[in-house]
Amino acid sequence: MRSAGLNDLRRCLSRYARSEAFSRFATEARQIRDTLSRLSYGTLFRGDKVVVRKYASEPDYAVTIAVRFARFRETNVAPSAPEPLKDDFSLNHIEAGILELIGRLFPKEFKDLERYITQHSTFIDAVVATFDREIGFFVAYLVFIQPLKQAGLPFCYPEVSVLRKDTQVSGCFDLALAAKLVGENKPVVCNDFFLHGRERLIVVSGPNQGGETTFARMFGQLHFLAGLGCSVPGRRARLFLPDQIFTHFDREEDITNLRGKLEDDLVRLHHTGEVIAAEWSLHALQA
């Protein structure tokens, strides 16, 4: 592995696996499993009644049947491949009832199992749980952008900063539109933009269907993906990492709020402004 993040994860897992808590947890798991695997019991079926009792050293009738019917075996017939097990670890009501009766037959062993489960109910390490939750997104993102790369569209790891607000992006594009156009074998138009010095505002204007919304989506995608540590669409990118991304896009009118389109937009923008003001106040207090 060449990834710094994955190498850090491997070192973290190695320390976790060598820790006293994990060693004790694994040892107890083996002991519980070995104890349960040695339990033997019998089931008697009489009509719709099931009786569970301890194993009484009865002979294995499966072996007896196999021996008795061995002479009828067709030796030249290849056995059919066994169907793969489809165990989803769920129990029907009969299996659950049998298991409950087995627990009554072996109270000490199942009491130890209950104690073990209670003590280790949150055994999954926080780092492992976070990695398991997040790695799916990163793998899915790599799979998503692979056809775009094969079509010749550029991707890069951006230069990021939380201090310098200069922004310089070249050859960038909107991922959603690019995926659609590549699937239709149509060309993708890339964009360049920059903010230098004290510049903090970009005004995008044009006719309907002129690409303003696409540019806004592209701008948000760049900063969001850069904040996650992903490669971003573009040949080169230098970005200032924001702590929040606020958006306001057109959406279908809601007839239940009895507001017109303009009023509804203003209400939504007012709420966004309140959130921004609260964030600034929090930062001021922390400073």
| Tens digit of each residue's pLDDT (9 = 90 or more) over 168-196 | 999 999 999 999 999 999 999 999 999 99
Neighbouring-strand partners of residue 52: 43
Asked, for residue 264, whether it belongs to a domain, the answer is no
**Same structural domain, 154 and 239:** yes
Amino acid symbol at 196: H
Q: Name the domain count of the chain.
A: 2
Asked, for residue 273, whether it belongs to a domain, the answer is no
Asked, for residue 105, whether it belongs to a domain, the answer is yes
Task: Compute the half-sphere exposure of residue 122: CA atoms within 13 Å on the CB side of its CA.
Answer: 2
**Same structural domain, 109 and 173:** no
Question: In this structure, which long-range contacts are made by residues 129-136, counting pairs with CB atoms below 8 Å and at least 24 apart in sequence?
Answer: 131/9
Element (H, E) at 114: helix 107-119
Nearest to 233 by CA among 153, 141, 179: 153
**Same structural domain, 8 and 110:** yes
Please report the pLDDT score of residue 62 as a whole number. Answer: 81
Neighbouring-strand partners of residue 45: 50
Residues of the chain with pLDDT under 70: 75-76, 87, 251-255, 257-258, 280, 282-287
CATH classification of the domain holding 136: 3.40.50.300
**Same structural domain, 132 and 225:** yes
Asked, for residue 270, whether it belongs to a domain, the answer is no
Domain extent for 46: 4-71+90-119
Please report the pLDDT score of residue 179 as a whole number. Answer: 95
Q: Which residues of 248-280 are buried (b: 16+ CB within 10 A; e: fewer)?
A: eeeeeeeeeeeeeeeeeeeeeeeeeeeeeeeee
Asked, for residue 162, whether it belongs to a domain, the answer is yes
Asked, for residue 250, whether it belongs to a domain, the answer is no
Q: What is the pLDDT of residues 12-51, one digit of tens each?
A: 999 999 999 899 899 999 999 999 999 999 888 888 888 9
Neighbouring-strand partners of residue 44: 51
Asked, for residue 260, whether it belongs to a domain, the answer is no
